[in-house]
Amino acid sequence: MVIRFPELLVAKKPDSQFLERARRAGKSGIKGICLVGMGGSSIAGEMCRGLLLDQSSMPILMVRNYGMPNAVGKKWAVVVVSYSGDTEETLASFEEARSRAATIFVVTTGGTLAERSQSLSTHMVPKGLQPRAALPLLFSAVHPTVEALLAHETTDLEEMSRSLGQQAQNWRTRADPPSAMAEKLMGLMPLFIGWKHLVPVAYRAKCQINENAKAAAFHSELPEADHNEIEAAVSYRKHSVIPVFLRSCFEESSITKRFDVTSEVLSEAGCGSIHLRIKANSALEESLAMTHYLDMTSVELAERLGVDPLKVDRIADLKKKLAAYRSHLSPLS
Ligand code: PA5
């Protein structure tokens, strides 16, 4: 599934009606965009927010919870993503957005969400993947939708897919392909640290290590981490924490200096670090290519740890327990 990342980016485009509706909503003077989803289904929205917020004329909120912020109302666009279509937090937010008469766009494979969104703009994506591995499919719907809402030109994802395929070919000639990165992370707890559009990539990497490799991982961001986490560096060695700096080709010189000085201060506190760089022509390509590389790292790590990256037993068990609890409550509540 992870190998198919570039191909999945162009496997199922949203149809022209879906995007036209987003364009019309954008022109109608919406006040903001709210992106909704949990876990693997939240990443596409989070990445779009990281990439497009700076150029956006309106707020872009991310909701990973039940419900909606109070500000979201009739003049808002809400993009609801759930791969299964049955995630309870996402369904609750969807219902709340509907009750507030927001303009809703749904991306899903089916489930309750597809049933309830029949009269709305719904983009159906193919079933059969792990939700987190479906990121390129979900991204290829959410990104053009947000672009249309913002009246931006649509990015050519065909071209992007080709570049990502080429980037993956280049792993072979890298000194540190995903397998080598996985090797370096064995027995350590990675702390992925990003800046700007690479903050969601750092978060995604943490989630992929958690879900695919069943291993502890954390994420953080610069410059904020320099005002708190840096003090914990003295304990990183003891706790086997390894900071992994996600470096961008688009760093401003002050940010480059900050990454370098942060790394120096960590090293003086006895803590080594890894710097990951991927050559790219745009922030979008950098975000996707680094995500693909780190997704593959998580699968390589899973293999080395002898765990099945496909199984998420605890997530499934928890969802089952909560569903049983709800059905137990519903007759009385
Ligand atoms: O990747 C996963 O399996 C999870 O993180 C799911 O994405 C998460 O539990 C939400 O489910 P769904 O994506 O079906 O809404």
| For residue 332, pLDDT beyond 60 | no
94 lines ligand 1 (CB under 6 A): no
Q: What is the mean pLDDT of the chain?
A: 96
CB 217 within 8 A of CB 187: no
- Report pLDDT digits (tens) over 175-192: 999 999 999 999 999 999
Residue type, 173: T
Please report the pLDDT score of residue 325 as a whole number: 87
> What sign does the dihedral 20-23-27-32 (CA atoms) show?
positive
Cα distance between residue 127 and residue 190, in whole Å: 31
- Report pLDDT digits (tens) over 114-160: 999 998 899 999 999 999 999 999 999 999 999 999 999 999 999 99
| Tokens standing for residue 35 | 């992106």
| Tokens standing for residue 327 | 């059905």
What mean pLDDT do residues 4-19 have? 96
Cα distance between residue 260 and residue 321, in whole Å: 46
Cα distance between residue 47 and residue 204, in whole Å: 9
272 Cα to the center of ligand 1, angstroms: 33
Give percent above pLDDT 70 in the chain.
99
Q: Which of 315, 319, 321 for a ligand 1 pocket mutation test, highest count of atoms within 8 Å of Cβ?
A: 315
Radius of gyration of the chain (CA): 20
Please report the pLDDT score of residue 158 as a whole number: 97
Q: How confident is the model at residue 330 (pLDDT cuts 50, 70, 90)?
A: low
42 Cα to the center of ligand 1, angstroms: 8
- Report pLDDT digits (tens) over 69-86: 999 999 999 999 999 999
Please report the pLDDT score of residue 327 as a whole number: 81
| Tokens standing for residue 285 | 């390509």
**Ligand 1: which atom is nearest the Cα of residue 39?**
5
- Report pLDDT digits (tens) over 258-287: 999 999 999 999 999 999 999 999 999 999
316 Cα to the center of ligand 1, angstroms: 10
208 lines ligand 1 (CB under 6 A): no
Beta-strand (E) ranges in the chain? 32-36, 60-63, 76-82, 103-108, 121-124, 189-194, 218-221, 241-247, 274-277
Surface-to-core class of residue 227, CB atoms within 10 Å of its CB (0-12 exposed, 13-18 middle, 19+ buried): exposed
87 lines ligand 1 (CB under 6 A): yes
82 lines ligand 1 (CB under 6 A): yes
Q: How confident is the model at residue 328 (pLDDT cuts 50, 70, 90)?
A: confident
| For residue 28, pLDDT beyond 80 | yes
* Cβ-based neighbours of 309, under 8 Å, separated by 6 or more: 211, 212, 213, 298, 299, 302, 303
Q: How confident is the model at residue 323 (pLDDT cuts 50, 70, 90)?
A: confident
Cα distance between residue 205 and residue 274, in whole Å: 14
Supply φ then ψ for residue 242, to 5 degrees.
-120, 110
For residues 331 and 88, which has the higher predicted lDDT (pLDDT)? 88
**Ligand 1: which atom is nearest the Cα of residue 81?**
15
